[in-house]
Amino acid sequence: MTVADCAPGSVVRLRRIAARNGRLRELGFVPGAVLRVLARGGTGGLIVAIGDARMAVDREIAHVIQVEPVAGATRPGGRAARPAAAS
């Protein structure tokens, strides 16, 4: 599932970026990050909340952001629920 498949309002966890894109990582699109889909633009782009930032991505980017449903309660602001990676 990619974030392009998500309806506005859904909260998902980032699993993997299916492209070489360092810029996405620097902007916080790292595995485990929680995304909230805010809106869909008229031309296939999306507006998502990641942490406390709002990012607009086009259709192409939306299709490489692979996500999974978040189990249980989520906090769009943080990655506290992230498994393993933290020291």
Binding positions for other proteins, rule: CB under 8 A: 16-28, 30-31, 33, 38-45, 47, 49, 51-58, 60-61, 75-80, 85-87
Judged by beta carbon, residue 71 or residue 86, the one nearer other proteins is: 86
Judged by beta carbon, residue 42 or residue 72, the one nearer other proteins is: 42
Least spacing, CB of residue 5 vs other proteins, in Å: 18
Least spacing, CB of residue 51 vs other proteins, in Å: 4
Interior/surface letters 22-44, b for 16+ CB within 10 angstroms, e for the rest = eebeeeebbeebbbbbeebeeee
Measure the CA–CA gap between 84 and 87, rounded to whole angstroms.
Answer: 8
Judged by beta carbon, residue 7 or residue 87, the one nearer other proteins is: 87
Phi, psi for residue 40 in degrees, rounded to 5: -115, 130
Least spacing, CB of residue 30 vs other proteins, in Å: 5
Spatial contact of 57 and 48, defined as CB atoms under 8 Å apart: yes
